Amino acid sequence: MISSDSTLTESQVQVIPVSEPSSNGDLPPSEERFVLPKATVPRPVPEGANLKHHSLYFNQELSWIDFNWRVLHLALDERTPLLERVRFVAITASNLDEFTQKRVGGLKRQEAAGVRGLSVDGRSPGEQLVLLRRAILTMHQTMTETWEKSLRPALLEQVDVEICDYEQLSAQEQESLHTYFKTQIYPILTPLTVDPGHPFPFISNLSLSLAVILEHPQLGTTYFARLKIPPKRWLPCPVQEENGAPLRLLPVEQLIARHVDELFPGMNVVSVHPFRITRNADVARDEEVADDLLSMISEELRERRFAPVVRLEVAREMPDYDRRFLRRGLGLGVDDVYEVDGLLDLTDCFQIADLNFPAHKYEAWEPVVPYRLRHEGETKDTQDIFAIIRQGDLLVHHPYDSFGVSVQRLVEEAAADERVLAIKQTLYRTSDESPIVKALMQAGESGKQVAVLVEVKARFDEANNIEWGRMLENSGVHVAYGLVGLKTHAKTTLIVRQERDGVRTYCHIGTGNYNSKTAHLYTDLGLMTSDPVLGLDLVNLFHSLTGYAPQQNYQKVLVAPRNMRSRFNRLIEQEISNQEQFGNGRIVVKMNALDDKGIIRRLYQASQAGVQIDMIIRGHTILRPGLPGYSEKIRIVSILGRFLEHDRIYCFHNNGDPLIFSGSADWRGRNLKRRVELIAPIEDPRLKQQMIQLLEDALKDNRLAWDVDAEGQYMLRYPEADQGVREIHRTLMKRAQKRAKKNKI
């Protein structure tokens, strides 16, 4: 059990060198260190500052940039398999795209509207934009250099994959690709020219384009044309000079640029350069006056597509004339332009990372079947999943435990079971060809009472969720589309079943979405239970979601915005009281991000009272740990690796009788105020011990873990000379395999 006086193992905190890989793949070499740039710039704390003072908080946006540096570090780290390093470059680029759309776009809207309110750390929107531009430029440059100078050469050296330029092609390859251009690419290209009869064209969000400057040979007049690049980015060179030659891939924009003159006969091509735009995704809508939520969201999608441009990425060699023309056409300032000295749009590196070279990827992992579910439903004599859950609560931890044979099977069996009377579920994000949705449709078509809360405001998944909702409705499912003013982020399923002794409820309460694909990549927890009190709580929750019951009461679960904040406040205050009475106040939590000021102030108060607080936070935090007089007892660690840390656990020492909770919410303002969230207590002693062990594994990690100090500097842990490597993902994979072989949990 995590005791009140347990401490993190003292570890040598240092960061990895880029230039020199470790000799044994895990331990650090020599004394050379590579220090990640730090975006966070906290303000000095004045003497006597109260707990609301802006100097006690990190800037949320800059803290997120620091999180993305830790993602990029996985691409820099030569201990990471090569194709996974390529993937982490693509993830970094994709993260940065989303951040620019949402956060930079939102700040630009605030600045344009004259918003004078300050961030929690006391900065105006304009001040934050200045700091963010500087931080994003540095990250963008490092990301591109990593691809161009490190990963691209390594692909040729280690995998025999050459990302080549057009000039490197042989005459045979050039001729063959020219034929491909004429037959496969030329017909689908649509050049859009700007002249008095043709206004500046609409350019879609995150699309890669070519800016073409043309000149009329007789008139001497200059024209601009835009060419959108087709989605197939990498072209394999069809002619190999010899057997065993490397796979050669050419970026398609280079082939188009080389033959662009064929699209404009009679004109001189002055210049051709790639560019890419990012549009604002922070579209504000007033739900209170929307007659139809679906119509409002559909309109928001259209508005986002045509939203203002907030970033223009251009090739460094693009001439000033071309840049000025693009800036004028897009309504941008000089600071909105980002030069790229290399390949534009590194999100396409996902395609390279997916190449079939298993030796250069993480070792394949197949989620295990939990022991209690191993023979579930195999024959008429073996127990079905409902009988197994009746015997005791089951905790599944994905991707270590199989999603398909646990959560997915629960829904599928419920859909097919004649005794099941009703199925109710929340859907926030799900996968294409979702087996969960298919099961719900099957249940609806068979006449069961099926109710699904489809959250159409799930950012960037709105269109998919609208389509899922319509398909479910067509199958006879009762579909609700969220609540006005709140986003439903809870992850839960309620099954009502007629049994010999009466009606019984079965519940799944999780930390992640009902997505069979991300269940292989994200670490998420799910509680499967037939606890009647939890069942009644979920009945009341769904009555509130599909009906109208703002004052609904709950006996065990924590529901935001109804009672979650107040319950967490009381739990923190109880640890303060325990510290004062028994000297053993202790809090250990694991979440994705932390930015709720009210919760943070109470954590500061707990630290001042002597409560030891350990926080495992993957993403951003605005709490400054280790500040003398304020947060000396608070330590924060961030873990990033092959799996995305997505599970949430809240553990309160409670004078030796731990109270443990898990569910959908982080300690963020949006989770506690503006979303419907669900947290459930973990009460089975076996499962509580499993949760405590998981927290201890995270706190002991010395391979993927980063410690952050009061100034916002993250430092990667390494084992000391006399320590072994403790990597949480490896540890949990091994433990899952052992657990599946034994009759445990």
Neighbours of 270 (CB within 10 A): 15
At residue 268, the 3 state secondary structure works out as strand
The alpha carbon dihedral of 8, 14, 19, 20 has a sign of negative
At residue 722, the 3 state secondary structure works out as coil
Q: Rounded to whole angstroms, how far apart are CA atoms 141 and 37?
A: 12
Q: Is residue 634 within 8 Å of 446, Cβ to Cβ?
A: no
Q: Is residue 626 within 8 Å of 709, Cβ to Cβ?
A: yes
Q: Rounded to whole angstroms, how far apart are CA atoms 368 and 547?
A: 39
Amino acid type, 436: I
Q: What are the phi and psi torsion angles at 192 (to 5°)?
A: -115, 115
**Which residues, other chains included, contact 398 with Cβ-Cβ below 8 Å and sequence gap of 6+?**
367, 512, 519, 520, 522, 523, 524, 525, 526
Q: Strand (E) positions, 19-125?
A: none
Q: Any idea what the Cα angle at residue 401 is, between residues 398 and 403, rounded to 5°?
A: 70
Active-site pick, 273, 489, 620, 653: 489
User: For 404, which DSSP code?
Assistant: I
Q: Any idea what the Cα angle at residue 668 is, between residues 682 and 574, rounded to 5°?
A: 50
Q: Rounded to whole angstroms, how far apart are CA atoms 279 and 306?
A: 8
**How far, in Å, are 130, 146, 473, 672, 724 from residue 635 at the CA level?**
30, 31, 48, 23, 23
**Which residues, other chains included, contact 500 with Cβ-Cβ below 8 Å and sequence gap of 6+?**
none
Question: Where does residue 114 fall: left (phi above 0), alpha (psi -120 to 50 degrees), or beta otherwise?
Answer: left
216 catalytically annotated: no
Q: Which residues are catalytic?
A: 489
